[in-house]
Structure 1
């Protein structure tokens, strides 16, 4: 009995550590939003050039997802996680070098290395979270871990804006003083220094508890397909390709809105108004500096509520999905997102800032619903389909660049036309899914 309790306690501690990983990669990923605004000012970049920070990060998903799946099959979960954590520490240390030398290409390299580690981590940690404990509670554990991931995405912009954007402004004609520039670089240095320490501590924990954690994970298949074989299998299915295109578009739109949000809020009529400070929780989080209007730092903190909307929407969406068919809810949410983007682009004004922040609420269910709708209809294996869908996350490396080009030419508000087109395409995907029955009705029920 004592041994059983000790084993349960150790397994619980291991699950807590895995959940910390979910929080960590959510936090690190959402730091990109204030970082894009910061590097724009620090290095005097155009909107297009600043978006390379997001592109460097999300490019890793396109290049590393399939190799990460092979690595997991060969090394198993704990060694893969240790490798991922070490890679992330290297990425953080590279960011420290970039901040101290003030060299933008090294920032891009550091972000790519960091995201490569996160990609491997996601491939390994999702099944591990499900496996650590009673199999009957696997879905609960994974959902709980994902909730902490969402909480991390909420906190990232708040803390990142506080560290990276103090005194930073990027409006036309604004030139940063050396003191402000040095302060922003020091904030980047501090953030990634502490993140490196946290990740290193997690790596030590997983190394010390590797036997207990490994014992809770099922054996990997003896014969792991090659990346080429997985890709051939995935591309043989029309729905796997359509689903990958949908994930590419969705992630690209979500990331582009997040990385442009602070710049948009700081440049639009919203920035000249104090209306945001009248909203209790939002105003408290933004923390008025006493100067009329919204500074870039205050706008960067407001971006957290874009991600908070996604967290709240995920909870509401879970309830709705038990009552409404997934493709119908996806069509509804994407349709609303189209309308919101068009409102921001063509109506504008103070209200447009609040509408833009609320788009996160409707982003909430898109990724998991696209994923499951695709799995239900794909004729390729689940492993091949999932691998291709995860690879398609690199849409976050492409669409933000397009939005950056449009915002540089036409303005931040007008650039919302690009995500509007993305959501319209996703609405078409949802309608097509509704017209195509799942291959296996029983499996479809189990996925929702």
Structure 2
């Protein structure tokens, strides 16, 4: 056998090892992103916040997507994948240190600053890791690799609330109108310190792991990464109706999903719903994300038989009806209905992404960048939900995602009636 014939067989184990290294990144950012849900419930009690003030945690995290998506793409284009990934992880470690310092000096503003820095690192990580997952192997299997890696991202979002509830929500529940005792409060701040200390060590180990695998990753990465600036991106998308509609849809979807997830523990803890301890409620939040993980696998199979806009129309209708059920029925059944929404959220992000790329007349690069920027919806809609929860309770706060899913259903209906203007098979280059 010639050297040329032996080369592919030697390369395959190397590519598999590189792909396994990159897949760990998907799990890591899924876990850290979903920690925001129990953290919102924790800081509400620790710092005696209103629901609106507590939702600033989600705001600080998701606003980074709008600020850093395009700069992150430009950074990755300049530094290439491995250096960008290591830089992103280092930035996330710095964020952990900021949050730990904020817990030590007892300042909520410091926690918000740390969350912003954390999300900035995750944004760079996403921009770098998604093309890597697609590139590390035979081109004909790129869709499988990206879906497989995203499944580990979904697994991280299931594990995150379990870890967060255990570390952040133990013993911090207080009746409405009361505050934590100084002893309990100090212990709760110490728990935040401990949780992010663990995360920083794990991130450091991950950075070392990725760096040690850099030669394998670089050898397999044959993708070419380009990036547009803000002005060029906005100029492109402004001329495309579907790029703008897709951006609005991503804004509404992420905002609705996060508005539910970040208040889920407080919602289930409410006497009008399940009236369980805050920590127990925090554990149940993982079922919301577990539904999204299961739905992603089921949705992948269904998309082989059903047109993407049709499946999205069905999913958004079901999610809207579940929100309406929560508003009208309330009580214990509303808790189950709220958790079930995660199942129907599952396919929305990638389907919105692909629907938009197929129909946008703007450059694919500009459309993709604008859609990633639109994840900023996770910063604003939770604030609206928190404000309504302060004024009328957690049940009424579901009017925000209800409106979001109704508008997303309209988007799906429009897509069903529209024509595909780009026939190319686009990869989904980001996932929430």
TM-score where L is the length of structure 1 = 0.91
> Which secondary structure state, in structure 2, belongs to the residue aligned with residue 207 of structure 1?
helix
Report how far residue 231 of structure 1 moved. Answer: 2.2
- Mapped contact 1:268–1:413 kept (Cα < 8 A): no
Query: Matches of 1:195 and 1:435 in 2, distance apart?
Result: 47
Q: Does 1:320 align with 2:324?
A: no
Q: Does 1:394 align with 2:376?
A: yes
CA RMSD of aligned residues (A): 1.8
Report how far residue 343 of structure 1 moved. Answer: 1.0
Moved over 4 A (4+): 1-7, 444-447
Deviations 1:100-136 (A, max 9, x none): 1121000000000000000000000001011112222
Q: Does 1:271 align with 2:274?
A: yes
Q: Does 1:436 align with 2:418?
A: yes
Equivalent residues in 2 for 1:206-245 (5 A)? 206-218=210-222, 220=224, 224-245=227-248
Query: Matches of 2:180 and 2:159 in 1, distance apart?
Result: 26
Change (3 A) 1:144 1:418: same
Q: Which residue of 1 aligns with 2:257?
A: 254
- Mapped contact 2:133–2:146 kept (Cα < 8 A): yes
Report how far residue 445 of structure 1 moved. Answer: 9.5
- Mapped contact 1:166–1:183 kept (Cα < 8 A): no
Query: Matches of 1:365 and 1:225 in 2, distance apart?
Result: 27
98-107 or 252-261: which moved more? Answer: 98-107
Deviations 1:283-331 (A, max 9, x none): xxxxxxxxxxx10000011000000000011111111111111111111
Equivalent residues in 2 for 1:409-420 (5 A)? 409-420=391-402
Equivalent residues in 2 for 1:162-173 (5 A)? 162-173=166-177
Query: Matches of 2:76 and 2:426 in 1, distance apart?
Result: 29
Q: Does 1:384 align with 2:387?
A: no
Deviations 1:235-287 (A, max 9, x none): 22111011000000000000010001111100143323xxxxxxxxxxxxxxx
Deviations 1:170-210 (A, max 9, x none): 54133212232222222211221111111112222222332
37-46 or 135-144: which moved more? Answer: 135-144
Query: Matches of 2:167 and 2:228 in 1, distance apart?
Result: 44
- Mapped contact 2:253–2:404 kept (Cα < 8 A): yes
Q: Does 1:142 align with 2:146?
A: yes
385-394 or 180-189: which moved more? Answer: 180-189
Report how far residue 216 of structure 1 moved. Answer: 1.5
Any stretches of 5+ residues in structure 2 without a counterpart? none
Q: Does 1:19 align with 2:19?
A: no
Deviations 1:109-165 (A, max 9, x none): 000000000000000000101111222222211111101100000010011011101
- Mapped contact 1:171–1:267 kept (Cα < 8 A): no
> Which secondary structure state, in structure 2, belongs to the residue aligned with residue 443 of structure 1?
coil
Equivalent residues in 2 for 1:189-208 (5 A)? 189-208=193-212
Change (3 A) 1:83 1:147: same
Equivalent residues in 2 for 1:59-208 (5 A)? 59-208=63-212
- Pick from 331, 354, 360: which aligns with 1:349? 331
> Which secondary structure state, in structure 2, belongs to the residue aligned with residue 44 of structure 1?
coil
> Which secondary structure state, in structure 1, belongs to the residue aligned with residue 273 of structure 2?
helix
- Mapped contact 1:270–1:350 kept (Cα < 8 A): yes
Change (3 A) 1:219 1:14: closer
- Mapped contact 2:21–2:213 kept (Cα < 8 A): no
> Which secondary structure state, in structure 1, belongs to the residue aligned with residue 394 of structure 2?
coil
Report how far residue 96 of structure 1 moved. Answer: 1.0
Query: Matches of 2:39 and 2:355 in 1, distance apart?
Result: 34
- Mapped contact 2:22–2:210 kept (Cα < 8 A): no
312-321 or 241-250: which moved more? Answer: 312-321
- Mapped contact 1:247–1:370 kept (Cα < 8 A): yes
- Mapped contact 1:407–1:415 kept (Cα < 8 A): yes
Query: Matches of 1:31 and 1:219 in 2, distance apart?
Result: 32
Q: Which residue of 2 aligns with 1:297?
A: 279
Q: Which residue of 2 aligns with 1:360?
A: 342
Report how far residue 12 of structure 1 moved. Answer: 2.3
Q: Which residue of 2 aligns with 1:288?
A: none
